[in-house]
Structure 1
Amino acid sequence: MKIPLDGNTRPVLLEGKAWLSSATLTSAEGKTMPSQAIMIENPWAGDYFRLESNDLKSFQMEKIQWNGTWSSEHNVRIEIKEMLNKRISPQNPDAGKTSLLIWFRTVESTLKVDCRRIWLPGWILTDKETGSEYTIEGIGGSIATYG
């Protein structure tokens, strides 16, 4: 697709989802620990990312809803389990620096997932010559025909 570079843009908020999750992780040695993650589903780019900061500012912008297909909850749970898993250093002071990291993996029966609608930053680009419009999502820069 030829991307028009001569045109007008306007900032918008593109619909996405935030998956709030928590689970108990367990190591091969039977140790357990809690884990929490917020995973952002960005359907405009077709990807997921882990939200590290809740410091999002709120202001009025045009909101554009996603009209495509969302991921199935089964696929989301697979992605979330990977984000919850952790690899940590042993707490044993007798262990030398060559100690292997310990994997803590999600205990499926403890996995809790809650989905919330969110708004991702983006732009609508209008081609000056043709009037065609495109969405540019502001996380990874994916461009798609709008409308």
Structure 2
Amino acid sequence: RTSRSAMGNSTPMKSPVPASPFVICEGGGCVFGFMLRLAEGVDLGVDIEHGDPPDQALHVTGIVPGGAIEAWNKQCVGGLGAGKVVMRGDKIVAVNGQSEADKMLEECRQKTMLRLTVVRGDPDCTIPAPWMPATMGRRHPLGQQGQLAASQLKLLAPPGAPMGLG
């Protein structure tokens, strides 16, 4: 038998952030996606605002302590997923394939598994179409090899009334 001390540090290693879409554009903007599982009794934990069409994004205005997003952010810090920390100013543009604000909010309230697509800054590059909701592909023309230009995702209207999801 091997003693615990002979095996080295018994503290479990931090789980790596799973691989998921992440694109950094030349102009500094980026788009990333990730899956998030909401534990029972834990809210998403994000303060958001959204405007009227055509601005369907959920604008992140704050992170609520104790929520799932704060836990996600802690998992990302200092590792390969550091760029995927959700922060104030980010825009959630899709939740589980839904891209309309009301439908994204409904997904966040009713589902425990959330596939989020987040835009930071002003992406000026091409985003692979599979990362975007199917409805966006139908509304916007696709470029070469099934890609969607990030400029087609620009958010036009200013954020509206504040809404909290946590």
- Give your verdict on TM over 0.5: no
More helix by share: 2
TM-score, normalisation: structure 2: 0.25
Name the structure, 1 or 2, with higher relative contact order (CA <8 Å, separation 6+).
1
Q: Say which one has the larger Rg.
A: 1
State the TM-score, normalizing by the size of structure 1.
Answer: 0.27
